[in-house]
A and B are shown apart, each in its own frame.
Chain A
Amino acid sequence: MRAILPFPRLSLMVFLLWAVITNAASLGQLVLGALLAIVIPLLSRDFWPAPPPLVRPWRALRFMGVFALDIVTANWRVARQIIGPLHRLSPAFVEVPLDLRDPFIATLLGSVVSLTPGTVSIHVDQQRWVLLVHALDVPDPQALIDEIKERYEQALKEIFAC
C-alpha cells in the first residue's frame, strides 16, 4: 500500500480536485482522476517534506471556518484603511516567536497569515523559529503577536500534533 500510495492525503486531494474540475461528469473522468491520484504523488514523492500527521480533522474543519470569517472581517478593516487617510496608519515589521518546530506547519502558518488581509509573512527563520510579519497597521505589536499565536499557531499545533 505504501509503495502505491506514499501520500494518501495528497492522492485524495488530487482525486477530489480532478473530480471538481471536471464536475465529476462521467465514470471515465473518475477513473482518470484515480490514475492521476496514483501517478502524481509517485512522480513527485522525492520533493515532498514529511508532513506531521493530521490528528484532529474536525478541529481542522473548524479552523477553516474561523479562517474564512477572519478573511471577511479583515477585508473590511483593510478596505477602510486603504480608502481612509494614510498618515494614520502605522505599518511595521513584527517578529512573531513560534512555539511550533515543524518547517511544513511553519510554512502553513505563514500562508495563513499572508492570506489574512493586513498581514503578510515575509520570512520563516528556522534557526531562531521566528516568523517575520509585515502588517499594514499595528498600533500595538504585542496584540498582533498574541492574535497570530492564539488564533492560528495554537490551532495548527493542535490539528497536526507538533
Chain B
Amino acid sequence: MSTATEFIISALIVLGALFVLLGSVGLARLPDFFMRLHGPTKATTLGVGATLLASAIFFSVQDSEGISLHELAPLFFLFITAPVTAYLLAKAALHRRSSGRNSGQPAPKSKQLPGQH
C-alpha cells in the first residue's frame, strides 16, 4: 500500500469520525426535539459513508482478490432505515405533544406547527 493511499484512507476515517461526532454534538446542543432529529441523519449519511468508503479502499488495496464491495450493503440498509427511524420518532413526538404529555420538556422552538397555516 502506497503512502498516498494510506493518507487518503486516514483522511476518510477522520472525516467520518468527525461527522459522527458532529451528529452527537448536535444531539446534545440543539434545544428542542425536532431540531435534535437532525443530528443522527448527518451521522448516518456522510459519517458512515466516509468510514465505509475508507474500509472499501483499504480492503480493495490490501487483498489481491480485487475490489471489496461489502461496504455497499450497510450503506444501502442505513439509507433505507434511517428515514424510517426519523419518521417514527417525529410521529411519536407529534402525538405526545398533541395529547399534552409534553410537560417538563423545553418549549418547542420551531415556529409553525402542523395544521396552523
Chain B residues with Cβ below 8 Å from A118 are 38
- Interchain CA distance A117-B32 in the complex, whole Å: 17
A15 CA to B49 CA in the complex, in Å?
A: 22
Per DSSP, chain B at the interface is: helix
A42 near B: Cβ within 8 Å?
no
Tell me the smallest distance from the CB of A112 to a CB of chain B, in Å. Answer: 8
DSSP class of A's interface residues: helix, strand, loop or mixed?
mixed
- Evaluate contact between A132 and B114: CB separation under 8 angstroms: yes
Asked if B46 and A91 sit within 8 Å, CB to CB, the answer is: no
Set of chain A residues within 8 Å of B19, measured between Cβ atoms? 75, 79
A93–B47 Cα distance when bound, in Å, is 26
Known contacts A17-B76, A93-B111, A136-B38; A114/B70 CB under 8 A: no
A86→B110 contact, CB < 8 A: no
From B4-12, B84-92, B98-106, the one touching the partner chain is B84-92
- Contacting pair A79 B34 (CB below 8 A): no
Q: Do B82 and A115 touch across chains, with their CB atoms under 8 A apart?
A: yes
Q: For chain A, which range describes its interface: under 10, 10 to 19, 20 to 34, or 35 or more residues? A: 20 to 34
Please, how many angstroms separate the alpha-carbon atoms of A122 and B30 in the complex?
18
Apart from A91-B34, A93-B111, A120-B86: 15 A-B pairs, beta carbons within 8 A: A17-B76, A20-B72, A75-B42, A79-B19, A90-B111, A91-B35, A92-B112, A111-B84, A115-B79, A115-B82, A116-B41, A117-B38, A122-B94, A123-B91, A123-B94
- What are 23 of the A-B contact pairs (CB < 8 Å)? A72-B46, A75-B19, A75-B46, A79-B42, A82-B22, A82-B25, A82-B39, A83-B25, A91-B34, A91-B35, A95-B114, A110-B83, A111-B80, A114-B83, A114-B86, A115-B82, A120-B41, A121-B86, A123-B94, A123-B114, A134-B34, A134-B90, A136-B35
A interface, CB within 8 angstroms of B: 17, 20-21, 23, 71-72, 75, 78-79, 82-83, 86, 89-95, 110-111, 114-118, 120-123, 132, 134, 136
Q: Which residues of B contact A (CB under 8 A)?
A: 19, 22, 25-26, 29-32, 34-35, 37-39, 41-42, 44-46, 49, 65, 68-70, 72-73, 76, 79-80, 82-84, 86-87, 90-91, 94, 109-114, 117
